[in-house]
Amino acid sequence: MKYDPENPTDFIDAEKIWNHIEAASNPAPGRVREVLAKALEMKGLNLEEAAVLLACEDAGLDEELFTTAKKVKESIYGNRMVLFAPLYITNECKNCCTYCGFNATNKDLTRRTLTMDEIKDEVTVLEDLGHKRLLMVYGEHPRFGAEWMKETVEAVYATQSEKSGEIRRVNINCAPLDVEGFRTLASAGIGTYQCFQETYHRETYEKVHVKGKKTDFLWRLHAMHRAQEGGIDDVGMGALFGLFDHRFELLALLAHAQQLEEDTGVGPHTLSFPRIEPALGSEMSNNPPDIITDHRFKKIVAITRLAVPYTGLIMSTRENAELRRELMELGVSQMSAGSRTYPGAYSDPEFDRPDVQQFCLGDNRTLDEVILEMAENGFTPSWCTACYRKGRTGDHFMGLAKKGFIQEYCIPNALLTLREYLNDYASPETKKAGEALLAKNEEMMAGRKRGKEFSELLKRVTAGERDLYI
C-alpha cells in the first residue's frame, strides 16, 4: 500500500479486536493447549489465538505458556542477547502528553539539546564502556528537522575513541516524519527507525495527547508505512502499556504488525512493550489507568514471542534486573544496558536526575554488571551489526531468519563481539565469566556448519583484529 497523505485510513479495527476478546473469555484448557501446540510450529498466531492466551487465568496453563515461549525463543535465538544504549539528544518537546516527563507544560523539567561537540563527548563515554549500538532519542520540536537529525547521526559515526571504540550502528527513535524526511534519515545510514503508537485506543489517545503534532492519531499510525516508502526497511513499533486495557493494546499492536507486512511486504523488525514508569510532572505516570502486574507483563511478552516468533522483542531498563532476567528466557532478544534517559547523562557525574530524565529507571546496573550476569546465566551478549553492513535487512532478514539464519550467523557473530569486549573492556570478574561462556560456545560451534570459518575469525579477533563477522 502506498501511503496516501490525503486519505489516511484507520486500519485498527477496534470492533473486531473487542469481539476477539469477548469470544476468548474463559477458554477451555483444551483450546489453550491447541494454541500452544500451534505456537511450537513457529509460524505465528492470529489475533483470535493470541486472545485465547490472554484470556487464560489458569496458573498451570500460564506456566505451560511460559515453557512454550521459552522453547520458541531458544529454538530461534539460542542464547544470544543484543545490547544497546539509548542516547538522548534533546528533551525539548512541543507535545503535551500526560504520561511523559518531557511534556511541553512541565515547567519543572530542565530542558537541554546537545551540541555536536556534546554528542561526541557522550559517544566517547559510551564507546569507552564498550557500546557499539545506540538508539538515538529525540523530543518533537519544530526546530529539529530531519537534516539536523542526520547531522547528529553523522557526528556519532565520526566519533572514535581508544581500543575498539566506535559506534557501528545507530537506530533512531523520533517523531513521525514525512517520506522525504525518512529518506534523509535513511541516507545517514541508520539501522532501525523506532516509533511507538503509545495507545491504539482512539478515545484514550485523544485524552492523553492534549496538544502538539502528536495529537494526530493517523499521522502516527502510518509512520511505518512512510518510513518504508522512504527507504527504511527495518522499523520498530510498540505500545506504552498501562494507558488502556492491555488486551486491546496487545492485539492492536499485533494487528498493526500484520497490516504493515500485508501492505509493504515487510513487518516490524522489533516490537517494544514499555510499562509506564513514574515521571516528573506526570500524575498519570504514578497512577496508570491499567495496572500491569509482573505476571501479566510476563504473559504479554510470552504471547508476543509466540505470535511473531521471528520478530525482535526489546526490553528497556524501565524494568528491574530480576524481571529482565526472567523476560530474557520468555522472549526478549534485545535489551538496553547501562541506560540514562536525558541529554548529557553519560557525561554527568550524578547518578539519578529526576529533574531532567524522561522516566525513572528500574535497572541501574552498569553495562559490565549486566554482561557479568548474562555470562553467568549462559546468555551471550551481542553487539553484532553484520546484517546492516551485509544488506540483510527487511524481508531479506525475515526470509533468512525462518531458515535458521540466526543460529548460523547471528550467534557466531555475537561470540566474536563478545571476544572483543572481553579483550578491550571487561572487568576481571566479567572477563573470567565471559571466557568460560566463550569456551563452552566454541565447543558448540565446532560442530556447526560455519564452525571452521568462525574458528579462524575468532583467532584473528583474539590476536587484535576488530569488527570481523560472517
Q: What pLDDT tens digit does each residue of the chain (470 aa) get? A: 555 767 889 999 999 999 999 999 999 999 999 999 999 999 999 999 999 999 999 999 999 999 999 999 999 988 999 999 999 999 999 999 999 989 999 998 889 999 999 999 999 999 999 999 999 999 999 889 999 999 999 999 999 998 889 999 999 999 999 999 999 999 999 999 999 999 999 999 999 999 999 999 999 999 999 999 999 999 999 999 999 999 999 999 999 999 999 999 999 999 999 999 887 788 888 889 999 999 999 999 999 999 999 999 999 888 999 999 999 999 999 999 999 989 999 998 776 666 666 666 788 899 999 999 999 999 999 999 887 777 766 665 666 666 666 677 889 999 999 999 999 999 999 999 999 999 999 988 888 888 899 999 999 999 999 999 98
Write down the pLDDT at residue 362: 84
Q: Does the residue 391 lie in any domain?
A: no
Helices 411-424 and 428-446, interaxial angle, to 10°? Answer: 150
pLDDT at 322: 95
Find all residues with CB under 8 Å of 391, minimum gap 6, and list them: none
d(CA 417, CA 383) in angstroms, rounded, equals 6
The Cβ-side half-sphere exposure at 243, using a 13 Å CA radius, reads: 28
The answer on 217 and 115 residing in a single domain is: yes
Q: What is the DSSP letter of 269?
A: S
Q: Which domain holds residue 192?
A: 76-386
Task: Answer with the one of 73, 97, 113 that is the final residue of a domain.
Answer: 73
DSSP sequence for 405-465: HIIIIIHHHHHHHHHHHHHHT--HHHHHHHHHHHHHHHHHHHTSTTHHHHHHHHHHHHTT-
Residue that is written with C-alpha cell 511505518 in the block: 224
Number of CB atoms found within 10 A of residue 424's CB: 15
b/e sequence 45-54, b meaning 16+ C-beta within 10 Å? bebebbbbbb
Residue 299 and residue 233 share a domain: yes
State whether 144 and 160 are in the same domain.
yes
Give me the phi and psi of 386, to 5 degrees please.
-60, -40
The reply to whether 442 falls in a domain is: yes
Residue 26 within a domain: yes
For residue 393, being part of any structural domain is answered with no
Q: What is the pTM of this model?
A: 0.94
Domain co-membership, 130 together with 183: yes
In a domain, 354, yes or no: yes
Element (H, E) at 86: strand 80-90
Residues with Cβ within 8 Å of 33's Cβ and at least 6 positions away in sequence, in order, are 61, 64
Q: Is 137 helix (H, G, I), strand (E, B) or coil?
A: strand
| Separation between Cα atoms, residue 102 and residue 122, nearest integer Å | 20
Report the pLDDT value the prediction gives residue 356, as an integer from 0 to 100: 64
Q: Residue 349: inside a domain, yes or no?
A: yes
- Whether 468 maps to a domain, the answer reads no
Strands 193-194 and 80-90: unpaired
Residues 195 and 308 in one domain: yes
Residues 426, 375: one domain? no
Q: Are residues 368 and 453 located together in one domain of the fold?
A: no
- Nearest one of 252, 263, 202 to 395, comparing CA atoms: 263
From 353, 386, 419, the end of a domain falls on: 386
Among left, alpha and beta (phi > 0; psi -120 to 50; other), residue 104 is alpha
pLDDT (0 to 100) of residue 449 = 82
* Domain stop point among 386, 418, 436: 386
395 occurs within a structural domain: no
Cell numbers placing 118 = 556534546
68, 178: one domain: no
Q: Are residues 229 and 200 in the same domain?
A: yes
Do both 246 and 199 map to the same domain?
A: yes
- Is residue 135 domain-shared with residue 169, that is, in the same domain? yes
* Cell 504514578, located at residue: 286
- For the record, the C-alpha cell of 159 comes out as 566519533
Q: Which residues pair with 70 in a beta bridge?
A: none
**The one-letter amino acid at 20:** H
> Could you give the number of structural domains in the chain?
3
Is residue 457 located within the same domain as residue 336? Answer: no
Domain with residue 91: its CATH number is: 3.20.20.70
CB atoms within 10 A of CB 79: 21
Q: DSSP letter at 346?
A: G
* Predicted pLDDT of residue 187: 97
